Amino acid sequence: MKTDPTFWLLARTSGLTAYVLLTLSVLAGLVLKSRPFGKALRAATVADVHRFLAVLGLGAVALHGATLVLDKTVHVSPLALIVPGLVSYRPAWTAVGVLAAELMVVIYASFALRRRIGVKNWRRLHYATFGLFGLATVHGLAAGSDSGAPWAFGLYGGAVGAVVFATGWRALACPAPAHERRPA
């Protein structure tokens, strides 16, 4: 009996889509702070795009999880979507993906809590986005069934390169104010 690959294909595509949206959201956040285009882009518009990309990324992550549960190729329970290590397929690397998804939810929720937790704490939490990006990259490379393909490796390499470049640009263009720097 032949199995229907629809959910497996949707799981793969939604996972890659979530990664691309996360990358674009990270880049938008870096553009928001470093302003590489000067006043050509309004900060409020970039902030809206940043949040919109983040929520689209969360939607893609949710679709990724749902289609993995519905797929019969790898048995993933709904509980395995929130408890790292319950998936038998590449368990360590799928656990990294679960942690990345949970961190993504926490960081996105922090947008709504910014006033309650204070801008300074919100910013500190927001720096965890770099960790989230790293976790998502490791998850995709190590657990993704397409990660061995040249195009997928190029996608991950391009995403990492773009984020590293934009982070370097931000560090050079927008050094922290003196009162925020730690003594050496």
Alpha-carbon distance values, 4 to 8, 28, 77, 89, 180 (Å)? 8, 38, 19, 19, 55
HEC states along the chain?
CCCCCHHHHHHHHHHHHHHHHHHHHHHHHHHHHHCCCHHHCCHHHHHHHHHHHHHHHHHHHHHHHHHHHHCCCCCCCHHHHCCCCCCCCCHHHHHHHHHHHHHHHHHHHHHHHHHHHCHHHHHHHHCHHHHHHHHHHHHHHHHCCCCCCHHHHHHHHHHHHHHHHHHHHHHHHCCCCHHHCCCC
Residue 37 is predicted with a pLDDT of 65
The residue among 3, 51, 61 whose CA lies nearest residue 25 is 51
Provide the pLDDT for residue 1: 46
For the chain, which residues make up each domain, given as ranges? 6-170
Q: What is the dihedral of CA 174, 175, 181, 182, to 10 degrees?
A: 130
pLDDT at 184: 46
pLDDT along the chain (184 residues), means of 10: 82 97 95 72 86 97 96 91 94 96 95 90 92 97 92 96 93 67 51
Q: What is Dmax (Cα atoms) for the chain?
A: 67
Residue carrying the six token digits 């996608």:
155
Q: Which residues contact 148 (CB under 8 A, 6 or more apart)?
A: none
What is the pTM assigned to this prediction?
0.90
Cα 40 from Cα 27, distance rounded (Å): 16
pLDDT, one tens digit per residue, over 39-53 is 777 888 888 999 999
Give the pLDDT confidence score for residue 38 in this predicted structure. Answer: 66
